Structure 1
Amino acid sequence: MNPRASLDPRASSDPRASRTPRPTRRALLGGLLGAAALPTLAACGGVTSLDGGSGGGGSGGGSSSGGLVIGTANFTENQILGYLYAEALRGAGVKASVRPNLGSREIVIPALQQGDIDLLPEYQGNLLLHFDDTAKQTEAGDLQNALAVALPAALEALPYAAAEDKDVFAVTKETADKHGLRSLADLHKLDGKLVFGGPAEDKKRVVGLVGLKDVYGTTFKEFKSLDASGPLVKGALKKGDVDVANLFSTDPDIQANGWIMLADPKQLIPAQHIVPVIRSAKADAKVRRALARLGGALTTQELAKLNKLVDVEKKDPDDVAADWAKRNGLTRG
């Protein structure tokens, strides 16, 4: 997922309240409907597409005639999204296959650039920080525009979905009550005394230890390399092996366990709307329309329900995606 990750810290009294500015209706419509018309501007280090073209730009001149290979990161939600992309594309008459669980963003982005996969579910803010770790944008529309500049020439970000899933930094209720923790700013009074758990990449990511130190002045006694909002990090938080855990805001276990998502008053964590990243050589009008239709139908609440079906009820992500796509009119027949 994370990669994305995966892909929001919220006040403890309301686990769904955003701590970064909510995108305005104008910005959301701009992302859902207008971004397909925005050209992807060439950036340094762009790769050559497999069909011999430059692949740059969002003109819609690509071709999906050979089908698309969709890759996903190594967490539940991203796999569900990959299968949803496949269902939406098949419903539009495009051949699609899924290569799930490939790894973190540091693995799947190079795979996309090299043409091993053609399409990837991503998360706006963390994707931008992957290519530009100095980026300051936090609002969805601004992030979309920044991605058009930051992405390599052969890649582009298609219109983002209504659904959003942010990284959150969570603690148990016991830890929050004991130390008076309600926001990330509160961690500074325990500087160097707590244990942090998350995926290995958190050690070098802005939305991770780097940002927590630079923005909130917080360091930790120990970093435990675990997984991305998966059973390892959640088990460690539950047992007390870690004090602060990097989870995802749509993870059903947060509410089930009464964990506290620490507020983010300095907006370290940007908007994380789901955004398809595609090789431009494959991004024809049929693909764009299919993914935009999916993005308009998929809300944060619906995505959280799909995560619960897989993580809690132990259903297969491909079956969950197929059923949801059918119920929402995205498949044929």
Structure 2
Amino acid sequence: MRKLSTIAGLAALALTVTACGGGTTTLAEPSGRAGSTGSSGGTIVIGTANFTENVTLGYVYAGYLKSKGYEVTVKPNLGSREVIFPALQNGDIDLLPEYQGSLLLYLDKESKAADGAAQAAELKGKLPAGLKLLPFAPAEDKTIWMVTRATAAKYGLKSLEDLKKANGKLVYGGPPEDKTRRVGIVGLKDVYGAEFKAFRALDAGGPLTKTALKKGDIDVADIFSSDAEISSNDWVGLEDPQRLQPNENIAPVVREQKADDKLTAAFEALNPKLTTEALIQMNHKTDVEKEDPEDVADEWLKSTGLVS
């Protein structure tokens, strides 16, 4: 549903960070319409990763919290987890829309927790001091390793276990961090014995990766399971019998000083509406219909009755 352990003098990040889909943002500048509400509900700075779904989730959180009286700023497209998680630790942002499985593996490469409840329990003990995991939503967005139907037929690929039959022949494409992440090149080799001819650093399940797969510039692509374009392309998702990819329920991670009972209650009310199907529908609007993520978030919140 993608290492820096610290940010050396956040001045580096306060320079410009470029988003996958073009455009820029910085840690120093607010973005979007979800700004000051003039109320006394508290202030929250939401940061997001540099792919459209996470940006949309940031605006979903922002719009909903704004309706609850919070003053909210969104800083979208800040980068990968290796960038934005240290920013959260350092206090440059207050809250992140996260994916539990990948976050847990980021914190503990040896974790075997696969389902949402087990992951949440482990995360509560492994998050750095000063951070808190809030309740997770039923919505999930996992990595699915995709090949074209022609590639699947040529090499007899049905599951990730079959990749080793084509060792040294296939080009893998995905975000740069896939080269060192367990849910990426490292895990595919350790768990399935897969070795690739080359790795192409592209984007996190975005237009660069999908275009490269369509054109044949890469053979295996890291695509998000909630991607609305999967159904319109003749791609084959490789089965993952060893569960290299854990569950990826979406949950906010927040600085403890902001995580009061009111904030927790807000997400407990929001979460039941935030399903995988809702995620796919929002992704279709942003990725296929090319609508603005903030507009899509606002429309979804109103359609569910979460905001008026």
TM-score band, normalised by the shorter chain? 0.7 to 0.9
Q: Are the aligned partners of 1:88 and 1:291 in contact in 2 as well (CA < 8 Å)?
A: no
Q: Are the aligned partners of 1:166 and 1:269 in contact in 2 as well (CA < 8 Å)?
A: yes
Q: Are the aligned partners of 1:87 and 1:330 in contact in 2 as well (CA < 8 Å)?
A: no
| Secondary structure, counterpart of 1:103 in structure 2 | coil
| Secondary structure, counterpart of 2:229 in structure 1 | helix
Residue 171 (structure 2) aligns with: 195
**Counterpart Cα distance in 2 of 1:289 and 1:315:** 30
TM-score, scaled to structure 2: 0.86
| Secondary structure, counterpart of 1:276 in structure 2 | strand
Residue 155 (structure 1) aligns with: 131
Q: State yes or no: 1:186 paired with 2:162.
A: yes
Residue 264 (structure 1) aligns with: 240
The CA deviation at 1:315 is: 0.5
Deviations 1:100-155 (A, max 9, x none): 00000001101100111100001011000111111111111111101011100111
Q: State yes or no: 1:124 paired with 2:100.
A: yes
The CA deviation at 1:66 is: 3.7
Matched ranges for 1:250-289 at <5 A: 250-289=226-265
Deviations 1:22-58 (A, max 9, x none): xxxxxxxxxxxxxxxxxxxxxxx9xxxxxxxxxxxxx
| Secondary structure, counterpart of 2:164 in structure 1 | helix
Identity, in percent, stands at: 55
**Counterpart Cα distance in 2 of 1:291 and 1:325:** 13
Q: CA RMSD in A?
A: 1.3
Q: Are the aligned partners of 1:169 and 1:244 in contact in 2 as well (CA < 8 Å)?
A: yes
Matched ranges for 1:1-333 at <5 A: 5-6=1-2, 65-331=41-307, 333=308
**AA partner of residue 268 (structure 1):** L
The CA deviation at 1:65 is: 4.6
Provide runs of 4+ in structure 1 moved above 6 Å: none
| Secondary structure, counterpart of 2:272 in structure 1 | helix
Aligned pairs, how many? 272
Q: Are the aligned partners of 1:94 and 1:287 in contact in 2 as well (CA < 8 Å)?
A: no
The CA deviation at 1:90 is: 1.1
Q: Are the aligned partners of 2:41 and 2:69 in contact in 1 as well (CA < 8 Å)?
A: no
Deviations 1:147-206 (A, max 9, x none): 011100111111100100101110011111221111000101111211000000000000
